[in-house]
Amino acid sequence: MPRIQAVSAVVCNYNGETYLEDCLRSVLAQGADEVIVVDDGSSDRSAALVRERFPHVELLLLGQNRGTCAARNAGMRAARFPWVLAVDNDTVLAPDVLSKLRAALEARGDCSVAQVRSVLHDEPSRVHYDGGGFHYLGLIALRNFYAPLAQAEGAGVVEADALVGICALLERDVVLASGGYDEDLFYLAEDLELSLRLKLCGQRLLSVEDALVRHRGGTAGLSFRGGAYPRRRVFLHARNRWWILGKCLAARTLLVILPALLVYEVVWLAFASAQGQLKAHVQGKLACVRAWRKLARSRATLQRRRTRRDRELLVGGPLTLSPGVVASAGKRAAARCLDALFRAWWALVRPLAG
């Protein structure tokens, strides 16, 4: 691969006034050739902050809240250069992030995306997101989740499966040619879906373990850091998992995982009910069912393009849950039992999968 001559940095923002200044200062320190902020219909003073404090940064206003997927796609299309550093507004990048991502991709000419390792902003000695595997239940099997940074598995540049879209350097034309981020997902698991789709179609992805960003609290009403589980997130989790499974997995895979899938659905139904969010959960499922024609078209397009089998990419664990969900010893024990069950079922049926 030739040297990556120029990079566009694209920061996606929705109501990130509290975070945005620190994020932008860290992005500007990377030395990108242009910086764009895509504002996804914010109702706070994010756009005014950019105009007042960063007048040389391009500001792209979407006008309404169209979701993370639409904002990222719009940023890629607006970028002048074919390599895009895609950044979420609640991150603070170490000064050498872009140089490390660029070097990793230049050294591996067959890869189209390289992601960072994120640590908790207020506890930078602990990993937050570091990518993971494609769990056959439509989840990301996160690795190093909340692990001490000094004990985290992986070093240097490693080939990756499921990426977390907090901050990544990507080849815009490859990603957009694949369909970009699926805008029907709006938010949540959109990075899982994109990376699975890319891998199914033969692309190779990287994780650069010493390219570090500090990750803050996310978007109010959507992100979860413990405490109450937001209603909208319950809806999106219920809808988006079914969308990803229905779009990406082969029919034979869906058939053999059905018993484990039913167990997971019962467990998550109970969780949503305990959170007082049963209605949001049911609404998410119904939204996916109502969109079956659109889902069928998306599925047909991907299945024609794919070059790899599900069983080459999917994994049976770990079942990754936020610490706030498994706060008690009893819940942790139950989660371990579920994880063991799902791993055992995948080991049994994997040879039969598509």
The percent of residues above 90 in pLDDT, for the chain, comes to: 90
User: CA-to-CA distance for 61 and 178, rounded, in angstroms?
Assistant: 25
Query: pLDDT for 127-152, tens place per residue?
Result: 999 999 999 999 999 999 999 999 99
Count of the separate structural domains present in the chain? 2
Beta strand 132-135 pairing with 314-315: parallel
Question: What residues have CB less than 8 Å from 346, skipping those under 6 apart?
Answer: 136, 257, 260, 314, 315, 316, 317
Domain-ending residue, one of 215, 245, 265? 215
Quick one: pLDDT at residue 293?
A: 98
Indicate if 59 and 151 belong to the same structural domain: yes
Please, are residues 108 and 205 in contact by the beta-carbon 8 Å criterion?
Answer: no
pLDDT higher than threshold 90 for residue 331: no
Indicate if 237 and 307 belong to the same structural domain: yes
Indicate if 110 and 191 belong to the same structural domain: yes
Sign of CA dihedral 65, 69, 75, 78: negative
pLDDT higher than threshold 90 for residue 330: no
Average pLDDT value over all residues in the chain: 94
Residue 227 pLDDT grade (very low, low, confident, very high; cuts 50, 70, 90):
low
Query: pLDDT for 296-312, tens place per residue?
Result: 999 999 999 999 999 99
Query: pLDDT for 78-117, tens place per residue?
Result: 999 999 999 999 999 999 999 999 999 999 989 999 999 9
Indicate if 24 and 162 belong to the same structural domain: yes
Indicate if 239 and 206 belong to the same structural domain: no
Domain carrying residue 30: 8-215
Residue 182 pLDDT grade (very low, low, confident, very high; cuts 50, 70, 90):
very high
What's 181's domain CATH number? 3.90.550.10
**Can the peptide bond before residue 318 be classed as cis, meaning omega within 30 degrees of 0?**
yes
Indicate if 211 and 82 belong to the same structural domain: yes
**Residue of 96, 82, 74 lying closest to 12 (CA atoms):** 74
Query: pLDDT for 60-77, tens place per residue?
Result: 999 999 999 999 999 999
DSSP code, position 62:
-
Stretch 23-38: mean pLDDT: 98
**Residue of 193, 262, 177, 275 lying closest to 232 (CA atoms):** 275
Does pTM surpass 0.85?
A: yes
- Give domain status of residue 223, yes or no: no
Indicate if 327 and 209 belong to the same structural domain: no
Q: Which segments within the chain are labelled E, that is strand?
A: 7-13, 34-39, 58-61, 83-88, 91-93, 111-120, 123-127, 132-135, 139-142, 157-160, 167-171, 204-215, 314-315
Quick one: pLDDT at residue 96?
A: 97
**Residue of 104, 118, 85 lying closest to 212 (CA atoms):** 118
pLDDT higher than threshold 80 for residue 119: yes
Q: Which range (39-48, 111-120, 242-251, 317-326) has the least confidence? A: 317-326
- Give domain status of residue 3, yes or no: no
